Structure 1
Amino acid sequence: MKKYVLKNSKGFTMIEMLLSLSFLLIILALIPLLIKSLYLFKDNAMDHTHFELMMFRKELSDEIKESTIKLDNAYNRIKFINETRSTEFTLLNGKIIKTINGRGNITLVNNVKTFQVDKISNETFKVFIIIRKGDKEILEEIYI
């Protein structure tokens, strides 16, 4: 009687099993750290306040180049007038909106608590903005 021995066994050895288990444990240990860091990035990615302020500064700088400025402190309004058009920035319902020639309604900044424009000198104006961001407030001063 002859005995046959199979040499081509396709199974896991104990060392292979320990290696795969250790890799799995390392990956599982890193997942909570990954979730925590992604959660922090999500808060920053969903917050557009700094981008809105940057665009508001750009709009102000574009309008100031060829315009004369008129202030309306009673309504917290700043108006830029040039030969072809009149552009107005106003606080309305917690938003700073831009209107051109009295038409349109372009929202530039949201969640605004205070929008105040003061004349410092004949050619210098200060725009003071307070923006609500959750339980914090962002203070912004822009000199034009």
Structure 2
Amino acid sequence: MLLSLLVTLLVLSLIPQILKLTQFYLHESYENYQTEYAFFQSDLSHLSNNSHTSFQIINRNTILVHEKEEKSYIKFKNSKLIYENKGRGNITLLNNVIDFKANSINSKIIKVTLKIGDEKVNYEKEFYI
């Protein structure tokens, strides 16, 4: 009898904590902009760490990526950042992009300003290539 009371109290005390934890993960699953941005940064740093890669701004929404003899583009189209690679197809780097601006600081540094999210929740990110 005492054992069953202990088990019942233990279960009843754990239920609110489990519900709080579930709400946290539910919120994170609906708002995955930060996770997508982290993967985008990883892909971009992988591109820029190559010694044979250089970046050049074509226009406000397009960056040309020179890799040895290949030319690829990072373009802002239809609320997405797309990596267009000739011969291999297009890869979506980042979804839910509200605004994308690429400005040249000097001949080797490009400042990129992003606004990602939706109408209710959005984040402004700024990084340098």
Fold shared, TM-score > 0.5 on shorter chain: yes
Q: Which amino acid aligns with 1:91?
A: F
Indicate conservation of the 8 Å contact 1:67/1:80, yes or no.
yes
Stretches of 4+ aligned residues off by more than 6 angstroms: none
TM-score (normalised: structure 2):
0.82
Q: Deviations over 1:102-136 (max 9, x none)?
A: 75121111110011110011111111110015621
User: What is the CA-CA distance between 1:71 and the residue it aligns to?
Assistant: 1.1
Gaps of 5+ in 1: 1-15
**Structure 1 SS opposite 2:107:** coil
Q: Which amino acid aligns with 2:56?
A: K
Of the two, which has the highest radius of gyration?
1
Percent identical residues: 30
- RMSD value, Cα: 2.3
Cα pair distance change 1:134/1:42, threshold 3 Å: farther
2:38 corresponds in structure 1 to 54
- Pick 1 or 2: higher relative contact order, CA cutoff 8 A, min separation 6: 2
1:96 to 73, 77, 81: 81
TM-score (normalised: structure 1):
0.74
Gaps of 5+ in 2: none
